[in-house]
Amino acid sequence: MPATKNPEDLILKYLKEDESKAFDLLFRRYFHKLFLFTCKHLRDEHQAEDLLMDVMLNFWEKRDRFSAVQNIEAFLYQSVRNKIVDHYRKKAIYTEPIEETTVSLSSPDHTDAAICLQETRKVYLQGLSQLSDQRRKVFELRRHELLSVTEVAEKLDISTKTVENHMTAALTFLRQHLKKSGIAGILLFMIR
């Protein structure tokens, strides 16, 4: 092992050389500190470990993209913070996609609700179908599959700003479409 004053320099060197030693060093140097940090915010050791393993593996799998990183520790902490925010965002805004919402038609108490839901679903799907293919994909990945902006950008190979622009435009269009149909109030909570 070459002598170096800064362990981060050694990790960066191994990353550039694509050596598996880099992951071992990365893991040994940062995992415990990041784990404590993550546990503090999630208050669940299993979720913290899963989230942190995702961050570490993502860093390793995409190491060629991160060769310009100057401060690995700061980068990892920011990645963990982003994952924690995504975790809470998904937890806070989870809604069942309208396509999967069902109401039993056999119950007399639910007949009106079922008819309203069917009509709402029809109008909602009409609105979705009027979006451009790319805009619809972005919307569905964000709202139905609950991917983060970054995950959608990576999956569709577009910038995060483009994802945000598509979401803003899609939400604006869907609100207007639902409003014109007279049912905007019913679904606004689902497409905030």
Higher-confidence residue: 97 or 165? 165
Question: Which pLDDT score is estimated for 116?
Answer: 58
Tokens of 104: 């039993």
Q: Please give the average per-residue pLDDT across 69-94, as a whole number.
A: 80
Which residue from 146, 35, 164, 49 is spatially nearest to 88, judged by alpha carbons?
146
Q: How far apart are CA 187 and CA 179, in angstroms?
A: 10
Instruction: Give pLDDT tens digits for 84-106.
Output: 888 888 776 545 555 555 544 44
Cβ within 8 Å of residue 114, ≥6 positions away? 103, 104, 105
DSSP-derived letter for residue 181 is T
The mean pLDDT value for 111-125 works out to: 67
- DSSP assignment of 3-22 equals --S-HHHHHHHHHHTT-THH
User: Which CATH class for the 7-93 domain?
Assistant: mainly alpha
For residue 191, what pLDDT is reported? Answer: 42
pTM of this structure: 0.43
Domain ranges of the chain: 7-93, 98-191
User: Is the pLDDT confidence value at 12 over 80?
Assistant: no
Task: Tell whether domain 98-191 is in CATH 3.90.1010.10.
Answer: no
Say how far apart CA 24 and CA 21 lie, in whole Å. 5
Find the mean pLDDT for residues 139-161. 89
Residue with tokens 């991917």: 147
